[in-house]
Amino acid sequence: MKARNINGTSNHTCGCASWLKHWENFSGETAGLCVEKSCMSNATVGAHVQKEGVLDQHWYIIPLCSAHNNQQGEVIELYGNPTFVSANVSETCG
């Protein structure tokens, strides 16, 4: 599973305390490690991504460390199949 980091969206806000909290609220999970394949840092950011290699242009939130969140435009290989939470606030917390 791969995702493209679309970042550059820090102006976007939602009704949750943060995008990481948004991910927790709608995944029902607690953020732990960054979901990049081999990263051992704690996830500190709910990053905006698109799924890579599939016909799905929706924006999603996944938990990443700040270093991976800053890799704007990069394709990130993910550990397993992490939960993708919709970044569309009208479908979630809006």
**For binding to Zn ion (CB under 5 A), which residues are involved?**
14-16, 22, 34, 36, 39, 41, 65, 68, 93
Min CB(53)–Zn ion separation in Å: 20
Shorter beta-carbon distance to Zn ion: residue 51 or 78: 78
Answer whether 80's CB lies under 8 Å from 4's CB.
no
Min CB(92)–Zn ion separation in Å: 6
Amino acid sitting at position 80: G
Shorter beta-carbon distance to Zn ion: residue 55 or 70: 70
Shorter beta-carbon distance to Zn ion: residue 40 or 55: 40
